[in-house]
Structure 1
């Protein structure tokens, strides 16, 4: 499934993975979240509920990953890489931004992000 993330004038397209967690995330769309800064590498926002398990937990990330952090429950978008690993219980990759994830660098602090299905 294709999704669109809109933050101010920034519009990014992404493709969700085919796993139960990503499909459950898609069932929440459209969704507008206040996304906060974390470690100058990611923006994260609190989801209205936990997502179904089904993706394999990862302890590494790549720029452009859209991920689920179950303790939040939060969604996060990685826009920079600091070489650090992710602590337990890890993240579940929901999908990947096509290009331009570094555009999130220009938003200091909190930014409102709308996520919607485009398919």
Structure 2
């Protein structure tokens, strides 16, 4: 599943996992307007309007640069611009195909995430 993230006049793309209940649950929320904020100098995060399904998902995962994830304990989206070790409750949704440099910009980012046409 291809997605687009519109950020300050730029559009970057990503790919959601097709075999993931959590990714399908996320896709069902799109389009979404979110305010991504910095967290731990490693990721951009935003609260989601409702919890995602984590049925059939692993208990946790490690994140790599460009990973689009869901942190189930807090109910937030997390897009990683630096790699991060294993975390319980972290669920992989997909990856960015481009634009990681935009996620590294300091401060909040107003974004719209939508499914590709």
TM-score normalised by L of structure 2: 0.89
1:72 to 58, 65, 74: 74
How much has 1:86 moved relative to structure 2? 4.2
Residues in 1 aligned to 2:37 and 2:28: alpha-carbon distance in whole angstroms? 23
Which runs of 5 or more residues in structure 1 are unaligned? Answer: none
How many pairs does the alignment contain? 115
1:114 to 97, 112, 115: 112
- Between stretches 1-10 and 60-69, larger displacement belongs to 1-10
RMSD: 1.5
Counterpart secondary structure, 1:25: helix
Q: Which residue of 2 aligns with 1:14?
A: 14
- Greater fraction of residues in strand: 2
Contact residue 62 and residue 87 of structure 2 kept, 8 A: no
Contact residue 67 and residue 76 of structure 1 kept, 8 A: yes
* Pair 1:88-2:94 in alignment: no
Which runs of 5 or more residues in structure 2 are unaligned? Answer: none
